[in-house]
Each structure stands twice: as structure tokens, then as C-alpha cells.
Amino acid sequence: MLRIQVLHGPNLNLLGTREQSIYGTQSLDALDSAISKLAKELSVKVDLRQSNSEGELVTWIQKARSKYDGIIINPAAYTHTSIAIRDAIAAVGLPTVEVHLSNIHQREEFRHRSHIAGVAIGQICGLGPTGYLLALRGLHDHLTTSLREKKTAAPATSRRTARGTRALRSRSIDRVQSEGSIE
Ligand code: DQA
């Protein structure tokens, strides 16, 4: 079963009451329930956490290395400031999808820059809570495809080796036959 860590950054605990015209009316609990429901349908184990602290998010990303196959993160305001979160994602090397409820590229200029995008496999923004569900589907597809590729990589190598062995064998048969014909 695939395991995905979902992390929400600062102020996302206020969803539902916070700047509703930008972030909508859905609470974080309702959002987490929708993510968990889809995870169940996809047979993915999810762990969902929110923190207002940059250090705590960094620690959770570091710990995810041994426990999870991928990360979905809305780093919220840390998106635009945190080299530490970027470095943590790069360090663990887990496929990571960056999510934002609002379209950060349409908002104030300081939100246009993401320190996370460069280490993420993709970024989804502007689609509200649906963005998290798309991120889950996208990361699930990404992980199942790379697992499948890893599984087929080994037999492909042995097929190549088998072909190589057959070719070698038939070359030596040719040699024997041609040596035979010399005699
Ligand atoms: C956000 C966008 C950020 O710029 C902002 O600081 C947030 C939320 C979003 O989900 O749209 O807190 O990440």
C-alpha cells in the first residue's frame, strides 16, 4: 500500500474563517476528510498534519523519508520564504507535490515566487480544495508508474542478458560449425 504524507503550513488551521473570499469556507477538518475519503478509494495510506512552525514542518519532512513514499505539501506563507523546507524536501528525495488553494501567480508579487517548486514534481494552485484531491491522484499515478517501471527494469535486464547469452552461444556454435567445416 502506498503511503503519502500530507502537510499543511501556517494559518491553514484557520481555513473556513480565514479570508473566505480567497480561501473559501471549507474548514481544514472537512478538507482532511475529503482527502482521507479519496485516499481510501485509491488504497493509499495518508497521514495529515498542520503546523504553524517552520521547524516542525522540516522535522516531519525529514521523518517522512523512512515512513512515506511521497509528500503533498501546502507550505502556505513558507512557500515564499523557506529555504529550510526546500532543502528538507531535496534532502529526503521523496516525490513531492506543492499545493495552494489560491492562484499565487495572480496575487501580490511576493507570492509569485515559490522556493518549493524547484524541488517538487509539480505544483497545483488556484483550484481550491480540489487541488489537494488532484495532487493525491497525480502523486498516486506517479508513484505507481515508477514502482511498475522499477519492477519491469530487473526482468528487462535479465532478458537482455539472456539474449546476450543466446547470441554468444550461437556465435560459439557458428565457430564450432565453421571449425567443423575446416576439418
Ligand atoms: C496559500 C498561498 C500563500 O501565499 C499563503 O501565504 C497561504 C495559503 C494557498 O493555499 O493559497 O497561507 O498557500
- Please name the helix (run of DSSP H) or strand (run of DSSP E) that holds residue 149, with its range, or none: helix 130-182
Full residue range of the structural domain in which residue 92 is found: 2-146
- Alpha-carbon distances, residue 39 vs 9, 129, 136, 152, 165 (angstroms): 20, 14, 8, 26, 45
Give the contacts of 97 (CB within 8 A, at least 6 positions apart): 70, 71, 72, 73, 120, 121, 122, 123, 124, 135, 138, 139
The verdict on residue 50 lying in a domain is yes
* Number of independent structural domains in the chain: 1
Residue 115 among the catalytic residues: no
- Determine which of 39-48, 80-89, 161-170 has the lowest per-residue pLDDT on average: 161-170
Q: What is residue 54's predicted lDDT score, i.e. its pLDDT?
A: 98
**CA 53–ligand 1 middle distance (angstroms):** 15
The whole-number average pLDDT for the span 36-46 is 98
Residue 107 sits in a domain of what CATH number? 3.40.50.9100
| Residue among 85, 86, 94, 73 at smallest CA distance from 143 | 94
pLDDT digits (tens, 9 = 90+) for 166-183: 443 343 333 333 333 332
Predicted confidence band of residue 127 (pLDDT cuts 50, 70, 90): very high
* Predicted pLDDT of residue 151: 86
The verdict on residue 104 lying in a domain is yes
Give whole-number Cα distances, 165 to 34, 154, 158, 179, in Å.
Answer: 53, 16, 10, 21
pLDDT at 165 over 50: no
* pLDDT over threshold 60, residue 86: yes
- Ligand 1, atom 9, lies closest to the CA of 100
Percentage of the chain surpassing pLDDT 90?
80
Instruction: Establish whether 23 is a catalytic residue.
Output: yes
